[in-house]
Amino acid sequence: ILNVEQSPQSLHVQEGDSTNFTCSFPSSNFYALHWYRWETAKSPEALFVMTLNGDEKKKGRISATLNTKEGYSYLYIKGSQPEDSATYLCAFMDVGNTPLVFGKGTRLSVIA
Amino acid sequence: DTAVSQTPKYLVTQMGNDKSIKCEQNLGHDTMYWYKQDSKKFLKIMFSYNNKELIINETVPNRFSPKSPDKAHLNLHINSLELGDSAVYFCASSFGQGDGYTFGSGTRLTVV
């Protein structure tokens, strides 16, 4: 059974703070690591798909890094805004082309 | 133009009934998925399907069955509904391995 762990489970930050969360996943048979943003009452939206060790991806104030050898990825948010409040999910895919296995998410609340 | 649409959005039904949830995507994706969001808000894969292969999560009861009339549709049939089936079910699609998933808006199933 694949295990994808995310920490922290929840996080409260002040507007303007920068923050980061961790996703850990199996380091063997790695194919891809996804990050999704899930706002309340909406559906998850893809942020990044990362496949190469050392990958760094950026979208606006949000960026992510990937270490496949040790099995972790970080998501960073610079200068958090209230609209960044959401649950951030990471998901792992192995080389067997099995569907994504999701972590339980990190719930971010940005306080104005 | 909704990319991945699920119907109905809400479904309330009695124990023992048989029901279906429909999912359609207009993105030209090759692979479709059903995920169940459990009581702890955790997304768990139920099925994935492309025109060649059905992957079933072996923990899913055989009362649940996917039906795909064509590449753009993957419907979920549930027989003999039980109270524990109450959850939010999400459909998703992608171009396959390495591509981000596009999710539908979810179907909240309540079994009474």
- Sign for the CA dihedral angle at A45, A100, A8, A75 comes to negative
Residue B82 C-alpha, separation from nearest chain A C-alpha, in angstroms: 25
Mean pLDDT of B64-79: 93
- A100 touching B, CB under 8 A? yes
- A28 touching B, CB under 8 A? no
- Tens-digit pLDDT profile for chain A (112 aa)? 678 999 999 999 999 999 999 999 998 899 999 999 999 889 999 999 999 999 999 999 999 999 999 999 999 999 999 999 999 999 999 988 788 999 999 999 999 9
pLDDT band at residue B1 using 50, 70 and 90 as cut-offs: low
Residue B97 C-alpha, separation from nearest chain A C-alpha, in angstroms: 6
Percent of chain B residues past pLDDT 70, beyond the cut = 97
Percent of chain B residues past pLDDT 90, beyond the cut = 76
Residue B52 has pLDDT above 80, yes or no: no
What residue of B is the nearest CA neighbor of A96?
B97
What residue of B is the nearest CA neighbor of A52?
B98
A7-28 per-position pLDDT tens digit: 999 999 999 999 999 999 998 8
Q: How many separate helices (H) and strands (E) can be counted in chain A?
A: 0, 11
- A93 touching B, CB under 8 A? yes
d(CA A16, CA A110): 9
B7 touches B31 (CB < 8 A): no
- How would DSSP label each residue in A69-93? TTTEEEEEESS--GGG-EEEEEEEE
> Which residues 54-73 of B are in CB contact (within 8 Å) with A?
55
d(CA B111, CA B13): 5
**Contact list, B45 vs chain A (CB under 8 Å):** 99-101
Residue B39 has pLDDT above 90, yes or no: no
pLDDT at residue B79 in the model: 97
Q: Where are the alpha helices (DSSP H) in chain A?
A: none
> What are residue B84's phi and psi, to 5 degrees?
-70, -10
B23 touches B75 (CB < 8 A): yes
